[in-house]
Chain A
Amino acid sequence: MMEQQDVILKVENLSKQYRLGSVGTGTISHDLNRFFAKISGKEDPYLKIGASNDCSTKGASQYVWALKDINFEVKKGEVLGIIGKNGAGKSTLLKILSKVTGPTTGSVKFNGRIASLLEVGTGFHPEMTGKENIFLNGAILGMTKKEISRKLGEIINFSGCERYIDTPVKRYSSGMKVRLAFAVAAFLEPDILIVDEVLAVGDAEFQKKAIGKMQDISSQVGRTVLFVSHDMAAVQSLCTQGVLLENGEIIFSGTSQDTVHFYLNAERKKVTQNLLKRTDRRGSGEVRFSKVEMLNEFGNSVSEVISGAYIKFRLHLVFYKTINVKDLIFGLVIYDMNEVKIGDFYSDEMGIKFDKIKGYVDLEFPELLLRGGEYSLVIVVQTNIFNVQLIDLVKGVFNFKVFPGDYWKSGKINRATNIALIFGKYINSEKPL
């Protein structure tokens, strides 16, 4: 394919340094030092120092590298997903690509027009009408007046704000503002489009529309899209390639599938929270839970998972007395973040009696049918010799995150609403009744 050689954007050795603390004291002296170094032909004295950008630890240097030696290429028509934790440098990278700020070293070379949707709706003037704002916003994004006039009808239509189009924008609801702004941006015709988390706004219907529009842009028109998101499922379904940033450096790049997998595995937070230290527990205490882990298909401990994936909860135990394990009943209850019970799993009603326990008990889900959201667990162990007696119960032991997935394999990302997915199927009626 000729597309293979067609590199449209090339990032070479890109680095960006920031100065920590407030600008003020020492600014002039640093500026002067830089100036003297420059006129005597030396290197900038502040470029040599600077630690990598790990926000959590306190470094000695006042300068940090928000990005360090970034190299990648994007081919024409590709959709590149850029993922990483907060503070990994994603936004800085996009800011440099969209020319909002310049790099410290390195370069970006590209063919064609770059437009960014770095948070839509900037430059809206509240006193001006929707239509006037379409023109203003379009021009800010680089369209000419003629281009906008040509697409005005489509833009208004897509935004769904037709009725309000001659009303000042200050009377709009926040959702309408976002829709109008996205509509303007969606009808830009850049060669490279940069999208940063815009899909996080607007209602579900509009999100669908926006994602659809993005897919159209890349697949039909063959335009290149750089997409930054925390939404793993969206990255998987929208992007072809992926880049994973951590502390300002690229630690993985490949297909979007591989990148997301790598990220989720790398994200295994060492949740070695020792449950034995918890005092807010109930029960007689012959057996106690010491740790809970969530393991993926490769047996790696993770805390984030895509809806519908294989998952195994491992409940680690410590025995304080000899106890007949055959009488033990284990329970695991999944709660959402609003403390609403989503589902529970008791070993006795599931027909399991344990013969031997070697330090832990596993509960396996071939498909974790939870919609996107955050969940936590309550774990319980009981004994049932004469009557049910509580041995140990710990609440809120393990917080994990589920990214929305595509359970029905329809190409549509399932809505994220913190509830369980239940298998079901719509039937197309053969004949009208």
Chain B
Amino acid sequence: MEKENWLFNISPKNNTFNLNLKEVWQYRDLLFLFVKRDVVTLYKQTILGPLWYLIQPLFTSVIFTLVFNNVAGIQTGEIPPFLFNLAGITTWNYFKECLIATSDTFKKNEQIFGKVYFPRIIMPMSIVVSNLLKFGIQLLILLGFYLYYAFYTTTVVRPNQLLFLFPVLILIMGMLGLGLGMIISSMVTKYRDLTFLVSFGTQLLMYISLVVIPFSLFQEKGVEWLVMYNPMGYIIEMARFLLLNEGNISQFGIAYTFISSVMCLFFGTVIFNKTEKTFIDTI
């Protein structure tokens, strides 16, 4: 046995921190093609097509404005409540879609994962990217209403001068959604209970993520502990701060959000990589 320099080795042990990024890079075309597939096929054989991307946040904002602001009387400061809600919901939706779709990765792709190997992480990554496109379209409608309020009404809306940092915020949010989604999807392979938790958990989480209720209101009522440890709350608040120059952000919030997102992504990737090897036996 003079020759023991093998190029590849399949063995039961998997180096926990070997994330195999090189392999992911080799499969980058697949990532792109999955994104294309998701975008192209989602609204095939529908009449309104991509318009559905717009209808959903729009209607949600209208209803939220009616219920929370008109009926319940929540104050949103200088900002028109509709714009306040639309900004919150658009941002929140991106996180929600990423989380829900990635948390289903293993179960939904059982068929294809059971037949052929490629770096499994390509799948959740493609979800995060294709949702980014959807998010972009939804930002356009936000921009439309933004301009309407800025030029055709008496209210003063203007972005913060730090608006250029908005993409960074989206990146952090994507990392958080991807990381959490991967952790959940890894656990779902054995314990299906989590699927039920995710759909209704995200719904509950929305209410303590400052989507409709501003942080100031939580402070007023003395229950800020409800939202203090939720990184999504800071993200939404920061998004509104950048877009509408409304609300206040703290250094603690920024640091806390950033660290928790990075940690989430890191642990998500590690757990996901550990699971991908044998999940097909337990799912």
Q: Is A110 an interface residue when CB atoms closer than 8 A count as contact?
A: yes
- Cβ of B37 < 8 Å from any Cβ of A? yes
Residues of A near any B CB (own CB < 8 A):
5, 7, 10, 18-19, 23, 27, 31, 95-112, 114, 116, 118-119, 122-123, 125, 127-128, 132, 135-136, 139-145
B7 and A110: CB pair below 8 A? yes
B114 within 8 A of partner (CB): yes
> Shortest beta-carbon distance, A226 to chain B, in Å?
14
Are A103 and B280 touching (Cβ within 8 A)? no
A136 touches B10 (CB 8 A): no
A-B contacts, 25 listed (Cβ < 8 Å):
A10-B6, A19-B281, A31-B190, A96-B10, A98-B117, A100-B116, A100-B117, A101-B281, A102-B10, A104-B12, A107-B9, A108-B9, A110-B7, A110-B9, A118-B115, A122-B111, A122-B112, A122-B116, A123-B112, A123-B116, A132-B40, A135-B33, A140-B112, A142-B26, A145-B33
**Cβ-based interface call for B282 (8 A):** yes
Q: A27-B191, A108-B11, A118-B116 are in contact. List 12 more A-B contacts (CB 8 A).
A: A96-B10, A98-B116, A100-B114, A100-B115, A103-B10, A104-B12, A110-B8, A111-B6, A111-B8, A116-B116, A128-B41, A145-B32
Q: Lowest 4 CB-CB distances: which A-B pairs, in order?
A: A99-B117, A102-B277, A109-B6, A139-B30
User: Contact check: which of B32, B37, B117, B191 meets A125 at CB < 8 Å?
Assistant: B37
Mask of B28-42 contacts with A, CB within 8 angstroms, 1/0:
011011101100110
Which B-chain residue is minimally distant from A101 (CB atoms)?
B280
Q: How large is the interface on B (under 10, 10 to 19, 20 to 34, 35 or more residues)?
A: 35 or more
Shortest C-beta distance, A34 to chain B (Å), equals 12
Assembly CA distance A132 to B40 (angstroms): 11
Contact among B10, B32, B117, B118 with A107 in the assembled complex (CB-CB below 8 Å): B10
A102-B8 in contact (CB<8A): no
CB contacts (< 8 Å) of A110 on chain B: these are: 6-10
A159→B264 CA distance, assembly (Å): 45
Of chain A, the residue at the smallest CB distance from B14 is A102
Interface flags for B1-34 (1: CB within 8 Å of A; 0: not) read 0010011111110100000000000110110111
Closest approach, in angstroms, between the C-beta of A50 and any C-beta of chain B? 14
In the complex, B278 has a CB within 8 A of chain A: yes
Whether the Cβ atoms of A103 and B12 lie closer than 8 Å is: yes
Given A101-B280, A122-B115, A123-B116, does the pair A128, B10 have CB atoms closer than 8 Å?
A: no
Residue of B nearest to A5 (CB): B3
Q: Could you say which residues of chain A place their CB within 8 Å of the CB of B117?
A: 98-100, 116
- Chain A positions within 8 Å of B114 at CB level: 95, 100
Do B27 and A142 touch (CB < 8 A)? yes
Give the chain B neighbours of A127 by CB distance below 8 A.
Answer: 40-41, 44-45
Determine if A106 and B116 form an interchain contact, defined as CB atoms under 8 angstroms apart.
no
Q: Is the CB of A108 within 8 A of B10?
A: yes
Q: Known contacts A7-B3, A107-B10, A111-B8: does B116 contact A141 (CB below 8 Å)? A: yes
Min Cβ gap B2→A in Å is 9
User: Which A residue's beta carbon lies closest to that of B38?
Assistant: A125
Q: Would you call B218 an interface residue if the criterion is a C-beta within 8 Å of the partner chain's C-beta atoms? A: no
Contact assessment for A139 and B10 in the assembled complex, using a CB-CB cutoff below 8 Å:
no
Please tell me if the beta carbons of A100 and B280 are within 8 angstroms of each other in the complex. yes
Which of B12, B27, B30 is in CB contact (< 8 Å) with A102? B12
Task: With both chains docked as a complex, state the minimum distance between the C-beta of A428 and any C-beta of chain B, in angstroms.
Answer: 47
Compute how far the CA of A114 lies from the CA of B45 in the bound complex, rounded to whole angstroms.
38
Instruction: Provide the bound-state CA to CA distance between A110 and B9, in Å.
Output: 6
Interface residues of B in 110-132 (CB under 8 A from A): 111-118
Contact partners of A128 in chain B: CB under 8 A: 37, 40-41
CA distance A142 to B116 in the complex (A): 10
Beta-carbon nearest neighbor of A133 in chain B: B37
For A31, what are the chain B residues with a Cβ–Cβ distance below 8 Å? 190
Does B11 contact A140, Cβ atoms closer than 8 Å? no
B4 to A, closest residue via Cβ:
A109
Kindly list chain A residues whose C-beta atoms are within 8 Å of the C-beta of B118: 140, 142
Quick one: which of B36, B40, B116, B280 contacts A140, CB cutoff 8 A? Answer: B116
Contact A103 B112 (CB under 8 A): no
B8 touches A107 (CB 8 A): no
Which residues from chain B contact A145 at a C-beta distance below 8 Å? 29, 32-33
Whole-angstrom distance between the Cβ of A172 and the nearest chain B Cβ: 16
